[in-house]
Amino acid sequence: MEVGFLGLGIMGKAMAVNLLRNGFKVTVWNRTLSKCEELVEHGASVGETPAAVVKKCKYTIAMLSDPPAAISVVFGKDSVLEQLCEGKGYIDMSTVDADTSSKISKVAQATAVSTAITEVGGRFLEAPVSGSKKPAEDGQLIILAAGDKALYEEMLPAFSVLGKKDFFLGEVGNGAKMKLIVNMIMGSTMNAFSEGLALAGRTGLSPETLIEMLVKEEEGLGAVGNPMIMMKGPTMLKSNYSPAFPLKHQQKDMRLALALGEENGLAMPVAAAANEAFIRAKSLGLGDQDFSAVYEAVKAEGLKQ
């Protein structure tokens, strides 16, 4: 199977290498073209522009750093749209919001205002992933695909190489929404855990023991243990908040999830309380720390005389 691949950052490079190792023919492009060289060593071809890649390949995967990059690769000069014709598929695996995804999608699906775009006839799939560098290298990502189902099915050979699990979630935007919901659960759960940890500390019980009880067992008291507690609990007790997922991003996702609830008529008072805790943590200067730093705001030990 032959695929184009746009974007060779940490994630993109790992994914492209993975595809090459598993027998895919890959034509890569990166804004800084020199980054393509390492991929050439693994057997990749190089496209000079996004348009060149799309011209060559039936399927083009994008893994870009942020919404502006995702947008500019599609709409700019020498960009995807210049060559995306009838039948070609564009798969954006970047982490973008539902709006960005829809904007790209409507264009790619030729439903948008511009007549130029209507003629394109391309197919679109959003497919944000969960997982960082290591899972990307190991093909252990989780893929949240949404959009053109036939295209999703055609991409399964690639997804099975890139991820350990993939989901097809329906219409474009659903991938972003699902990720938001999972992050909201994560943020509230982190608060639930932080309050418990702080309460243990305040009542003279050992927070270390609490963590051990939560994560060492998978029955009874261990019912609410999860990998997040196992990973972050011990570092939280050391006030080590080296950021895996920055608190300010977690807070933003809480806000966006609450807005999604508002739009859909769902009150979520626990998430709302958790969101305010993250806001308090941000005001304590913890926005760039890991989201588990909300524990500092919860216990607020600095407040005690």
Buried/exposed code over 203-217 (b: 16+ C-beta within 10 A; e: otherwise):
eeeebeebbebbbee
Decide: is 272 part of the binding site for its own copies (CB under 8 A): yes
Kindly identify the residues of this chain, within the stretch 116-155, that bind its own copies according to CB under 8 A: 129-132, 135, 140-142, 144
Closest to 91 (Cα-Cα) out of 52, 144, 132: 144
- Which residues are catalytically annotated? 179
CA–CA distance, 57 with 82 (Å, rounded to integer): 13
Decide: is 50 part of the binding site for its own copies (CB under 8 A): no
CA–CA distance, 76 with 50 (Å, rounded to integer): 10
CA atoms within 13 Å, Cβ hemisphere of 256: 19
- What is the per-residue binding string for its own copies in 199-238, x denoting contact by CB under 8 A? xx-xxxxx--xx-xxx-xxxxxxxxxxxxx--x-------
Task: Tell me which stretch binds its own copies (CB under 8 A): 34-42, 69-77, 79-87, 184-192.
Answer: 184-192
User: 184, 236, 247, 293: which one contacts its own copies (CB under 8 A)?
Assistant: 184
Tokens at 66, concatenated: 């942020």
**Torsion sign across C-alpha atoms 112, 114, 119, 123:** negative
Number of residues that bind its own copies (CB under 8 A): 91
Kindly identify the residues of this chain, within the stretch 162-181, that bind its own copies according to CB under 8 A: 164-165, 167, 169-170, 174, 177-179, 181
CA–CA distance, 100 with 79 (Å, rounded to integer): 16
Decide: is 249 part of the binding site for its own copies (CB under 8 A): no
Q: Which residue number, 81 or 271, has a Cβ lying nearer to its own copies?
A: 271
Decide: is 111 part of the binding site for its own copies (CB under 8 A): no
Decide: is 196 part of the binding site for its own copies (CB under 8 A): yes
